[in-house]
Amino acid sequence: MKKVPYIVMMLSDKGGVGKTTVAVNLAVALRGYGFRVLLIESDMFNPSIAFHLDIEARKHDFIDYAEGRCALRDAIVTHGPSSLDVLPCAINKNPIALRKAIAESFMSDLIKRSGYDFIVIDTEPGRFENELANYVDEAILIATPDIPSVVSVIRLGVIFARHRVKSGVLINMRRNKGYELGRDEIEEVSENSVIDELPYTDLVPVSINKHIPAVLLNRNSKFSKEMRWLAEMYASASGLSGEIQKTGVVGTIIGRLEGRDVARSRGKVLEEVRQVAEDEEQYEEEKARREGAPLERRAAAEARRASQKRGETLRQMVKTEIGREKRALAKGARGAAMATSVVTEHGEMIQHMVKTGVRQNRKALARSAEKAGSIMTEQGEIVRQMVKKGVRQNRKTLARGAGNVGRKGYEGAEKAVGAMAESSGIIRQQVEKGIAYEKKVLAKEQRKRARRSRKVVHVKL
């Protein structure tokens, strides 16, 4: 079943592992088989595809297209020798964050309208926008055969596994030295499968310096053969393997030189290809001659044994570290479970103490209110008795005063009125004293309740 476009993304958490080199050569190899290929430079902080292919970004670039400021055709640059379409990123533009809305917009437009068979995306090392993972068919995690590089791809593998996207590790710059990790060890450490292993070769730095992809500069090198094998593998994965055009890559590229915006002539490109091939043959011959000497063979054997010993020690260290990390994680999980249990138990105790304190507080408040009511009732009764007594005394005084009015006249009546006023004042004073006493009693009870409430709150805390 065909899957068009088939989107392949190159990633690494570590710089200098050859991620851009693999992306460029894979895209050119796919284009050499006749597929319609788009190479995207999404590394906005250190873009380098333009240098690899000796092209210049147009007025608009990947950032402008991603933010919707231009159409796709206005940002694409065609690499003349390979007729590969490239969406470069200008180094003088401010990087942007590929938020969900931006990723959905430009990726949907690419998938629906571009008409490409393959889209190869080169990314920035150590930085990956999760929003792009939803649109990728396969992720290639680039690493070199050493511990730091292999460990760095573990996080990326977890991210794509979470998004249910197929991923694999591609080992680059294999020198076949004893200190390097083997294929099985890499799969064990990275917890992912190894797609392929690319050899270290001087062809790659030469091709970068000449701005010609290695698969064009020397198609017979082992590196170029591995890249074409990868291209055929992804053609099969996308369901397009039956459409591979068996024309020679270099011949196809040379035929497209005319009319393209490149400065090299056909003869110059062929000369560069032959020169690199001769350099590699001379290097292999010199290497074979050196290794043929008996003394150097023994030295090389000793070096290999020492390297293998160091490699075995390193592998044991890696396994020990992995076991230690697993044990630490298990111990941390047990500690977290115990802490959760203790926190839950303490929470229940505090909750019980709070409920008990609230009940005791309610009972104390009820008793205080009852006692205060009783005191107020007693004081009220005393006040009422005092008022009745005062009224009776007042009545008697009035009666005596009325009896004396007739005898003593106006002076006696005035004295009676004065006595009545004095007795009324005494009564008022007694009433006010009773009310003040009741207020003091109530205030004292309120302070007691407040102190109890503070004690309960302290217990809660």
Would residue 118 count as lying in a domain?
A: yes
Query: With b meaning 16 or more CB within 10 Å and e meaning fewer, what string describes 99-128?
Result: eeebbeebbeebeeebebbbbbbbbbbeeb
Q: Indicate the average pLDDT of the chain.
A: 77
CA–CA dist 98, 104 (Å, integer): 9
| pLDDT digit string, tens, across residues 229-286 | 999 999 998 888 766 764 444 444 434 433 333 334 434 544 554 555 555 555 555 5
| Per-residue model confidence (pLDDT) at position 54 | 92
Q: What pLDDT shows up at residue 423?
A: 72
Q: Over the stretch 414-450, which tens digit does the pLDDT of each residue have? A: 776 677 777 777 878 887 887 888 888 888 888 888 8
Beta carbons of 106 and 66 less than 8 angstroms apart: yes
Q: Residue 435: its pLDDT value, please?
A: 81
Contact between 189 and 181 under an 8 Å Cβ cutoff? The reply is yes
Cβ proximity of 11 and 128 under 8 Å:
yes
Residue 1 domain-assigned (yes or no): no
Say yes or no: 359 and 210 in one domain: no
What pLDDT score was predicted for residue 314?
Answer: 62
pLDDT of residue 371 exceeding 80, the answer is no
Report how far residue 446's alpha carbon sits from residue 438's, in angstroms, rounded to the nearest whole number.
12
pLDDT-derived band at 410 (thresholds 50, 70, 90) equals low
- Of the three residues 226, 244, 262, the one that is the final residue of a domain is 262
357 shares a domain with 257: no
Q: Which amino acid is at 260?
A: R
Spatial separation of the C-alpha atoms in residues 107 and 101, rounded to whole Å:
10
Percent of the chain with pLDDT over 90: 31
Single residue among 239, 262, 285 that ends a domain in this structure: 262
Q: How far apart are CA 154 and CA 42, in angstroms?
A: 21
Q: What is the mean pLDDT of residues 356-380?
A: 69
Q: Kindly state whether residues 198 and 62 are assigned to the same domain.
A: yes
395 shares a domain with 254:
no
Q: Are 133 and 163 in contact (CB under 8 A)?
A: yes
On whether both 54 and 195 belong to a single domain, the answer is: yes
Per-residue pLDDT, 281: 55
Res 418: pLDDT: 74
Per-residue pLDDT averaged across 321-335, rounded? 67
The number of angstroms, rounded, from the C-alpha of 126 to the middle of its chain's C-alpha atoms is 13
Task: Check whether residue 239 and residue 382 sit in a common domain.
Answer: no
The whole-model pTM stands at 0.57
Looking at residue 239, its pLDDT comes to 85
3-state helix, strand, coil in the chain (%, to 5): 65, 10, 25
Domain shared by 31 and 166, yes or no: yes
Q: Are residues 244 and 98 in the same domain?
A: yes
Q: Which of 190-194, 233-237, 298-302 has the least mean pLDDT?
A: 298-302
pLDDT band at 116 (very low <50, low <70, confident <90, very high): very high
Least confident of 4-8, 51-55, 307-311: 307-311
Residue 131 one-letter amino acid: E
The reported pLDDT for the residue numbered 387 is: 64
Q: How far is CA 234 from the centre of its chain?
A: 30
User: Which residue, of 241, 262, 283, is where some domain finishes?
Assistant: 262
Please indicate, yes or no, if residue 172 is contained in any of the structural domains: yes
Residues making up the chain, counted from first to last? 461
CB-based contacts of 429, cutoff 8 Å, min separation 6: none
d(CA 41, CA 77): 12
Q: For the ranges 127-136, 165-174, 193-202, 344-353, which has the lowest average pLDDT?
A: 344-353
Integer Cα distance of 112 and 109 in angstroms: 5
Instruction: Mention every residue, 6+ apart, whose C-beta is less than 8 A from residue 59.
Output: 74
235 found inside a domain? yes
The answer to whether residue 213 sits within a structural domain is: yes
What local confidence, expressed as pLDDT, does residue 454 receive? 75
Which amino acid type is present at position 306?
A
| Domains held by the chain: number | 2
Q: What is the distance between the terminal CA atoms of the chain, rounded to a whole angstrom?
A: 67
Shared domain check, 250 and 360: no
Helix (H, G, I), strand (E, B) or coil at 40: strand
Structure tokens at 108: 């949907």
Lowest-pLDDT range, 226-235, 315-324, 400-409, 433-442? 400-409
Please spell the DSSP secondary structure of 282-347, one letter per residue: HHHHHHHHHHTSHHHHHHHHHHHHHHHHHHHHHHHHHHHHHHHHHHHHHHHHHHHHHHHHHHHHHH
CATH number at residue 49: 3.40.50.300
Residues 383 and 250 in one domain: no
- 287 within a domain of the structure (yes/no): no
User: Is residue 288 domain-resident?
Assistant: no
Q: What is the pLDDT of residue 273?
A: 46
Average pLDDT over residues 50-66: 88
Q: How far apart are CA 154 and CA 191, in angstroms?
A: 7
Taking 80 as the threshold, does the pLDDT of residue 460 lie above it?
no
The most confident of 98-107, 207-216, 236-245, 305-314, by mean pLDDT: 207-216
Within-domain flag for 297: no
Max CA distance (Å), the chain: 163
Angle between helices 154-162 and 183-190 (to 10 degrees): 60
Give the structural domain span for 17. Answer: 6-262
**Domain check: are 230 and 372 in the same one?**
no
